[in-house]
Amino acid sequence: MDHKQLNLLIKRTMNESTAIKVISLSTADGFNVCTEFGDDYRVEKEKLSAVSSSLASLSNAACKQILKTRLKATIIESIDGNLIFIKTKYGKSDSVLCLIASSELLVGKARYYARQLALSIHEIAVDI
């Protein structure tokens, strides 16, 4: 399947900051749709997709069970960087967006980039 518009949106977001290391879109059940890497970072796409969907699912379950609300984002802060996971739609399919950034990029800014991209992805009309 051709994902030209998706690739363009992801590359545009990657160009916003050299601190963005990876942007990945996965299906809700853990399959890779599209992944872009920065110059100096690599991770297995399949592994990232599986982890992204699992974390989003667990986070959503925690929100529903404990907070009685829906998930907006899951943020993992580490010593060397941050991971942002946002549930979105790509066409008619539930999907998970993952943005990985080094610690140079403030968490709020990384979340902003991820949220804007998730909203743009949601607007793409495709059948997957």
Least confident of 2-6, 9-13, 19-23, 26-30: 2-6
- The pair of structure tokens assigned to 116 is 């804007």
Whether 1 shows a pLDDT value over 60: the answer reads no
In a domain, 76, yes or no: yes
Inside any domain, residue 128: no
Residue 127 forms part of a structural domain: no
Residue 66: inside a domain? yes
Residue from 60, 27, 74, 21 nearest 46 by CA: 27
Tokens of 99: 């943005």
The three-state (H, E, C) secondary structure of 35-91, written as one string: EEECCCCCCCHHHHHHHHHHHHHHHHHHHHHHHCCCCCCEEEECCCEEEEEEEEEEC
Percent of the chain with pLDDT over 70: 95
Q: pLDDT at position 3, please?
A: 86
Look at residue 72 and tell me if it is in a domain. yes
pLDDT, tens digit, for every residue of 66-83? 999 999 999 999 999 999
Q: What is the C-alpha separation between 31 and 61, in angstroms, rounded?
A: 20
In the predicted structure, residue 127 carries a pLDDT above the cut 70: no
What's the structural domain count of the chain?
Answer: 1
Range of the domain at 41: 4-122
Q: Is 78 part of any domain?
A: yes
Let me know if residue 44 belongs to a domain.
yes
Q: What is the CATH number of the domain that holds 48?
A: 3.30.450.30
Q: What is the pTM of this model?
A: 0.93
For residue 46, what are its two tokens? 């399949």
CA dihedral of 32, 86, 122, 117, whole degrees rounded to 10: -90
Given pLDDT bands bounded at 50, 70 and 90, which one contains residue 41? confident
What average pLDDT does this structure show over 87-115?
96
